[in-house]
Structure 1
Amino acid sequence: MSTVEYMRTIREKYSKMGYAPYGWHEATEAPPWTPLAKPLSECRVGMMTTAGTYVAGQEAYFYKDDTSHRPIPSNTPVENLRFSHLTENYLPDARRDPNCAFPIEPLRQLVDEGVIGGLADNFFSCMGAVYSKRRVDEEVAPAIYEAFAKEGVDVAYLVPL
């Protein structure tokens, strides 16, 4: 399926679900540049994915505009990771190798190699199919910012799906 066909398919799918045509976000200004205050090898690293990742035993994501997020302990065994996303065709690879959507083992390896200083106790996930920019701005982003602040992260690794 080409990119154009994919976009048409997505538009039709969401129209049938009762959504108004999607209004693409356009940034009006560049985000503030925030250089690291210390070397990465001394930083506490957090991770956030929009893959709908959760730990076995946690509640899966609801498919329509679920703005919740899940904490995922950074010591979670990869075989305990699960995925729930509105667009199921994004998930077969993640279910075969969770690290492609939630690279928890590579981050642990970077700690072992001394590339990064350490990991936050918890990483975070949300279901990226939230089609209201307002809800992302007012609900998702502040909740994730607060969660990272509580974890004391110096830098966050963002993994979009």
Structure 2
Amino acid sequence: MRALLQRVSEASVTVEAEVIGKIGPGLLILVCAMPGDDVETAERLAAKVSKLRLFKDDAGKMNLSLAQTGGAALVVSQFTLAADTSRGNRPGFSGAAKPDQAHALYEAFAAALQALDVPVETGRFGADMAVALVNDGPVTLWLDTDQP
């Protein structure tokens, strides 16, 4: 799986003029399932995300995890994270999992994060979504589960 994490002071996702997910301080997580991923992959990614020390402690150092701060996660599916731009100017997305598998793994990731006591809001898989955020820092990280 591939994820783009952005530390935010607030974030929301809107579908058809309705806000369907909204958080205060925490992480906006754009997530993409890749071929070969499974539920274990989603759970491993959720565990990593919950433990990453991306939030400031009392000394102003990035030393606290999402779980330690009580922050929330807004999880949004984004197959375009699998874009291949090596063959010209039009990206290809064959590196993303098929929709049925991707949907199940997106749900598994969000559920695994919630099982780790992280409050989770989500977007709507496959929908045309408008994502708004106030990036805090800015702090943005790219994670791939196939890399150590």
Question: TM-score scaled by structure 1?
Answer: 0.29
Question: TM-score scaled by structure 2?
Answer: 0.30
Whichever of the two has the greater Rg, that structure is 1
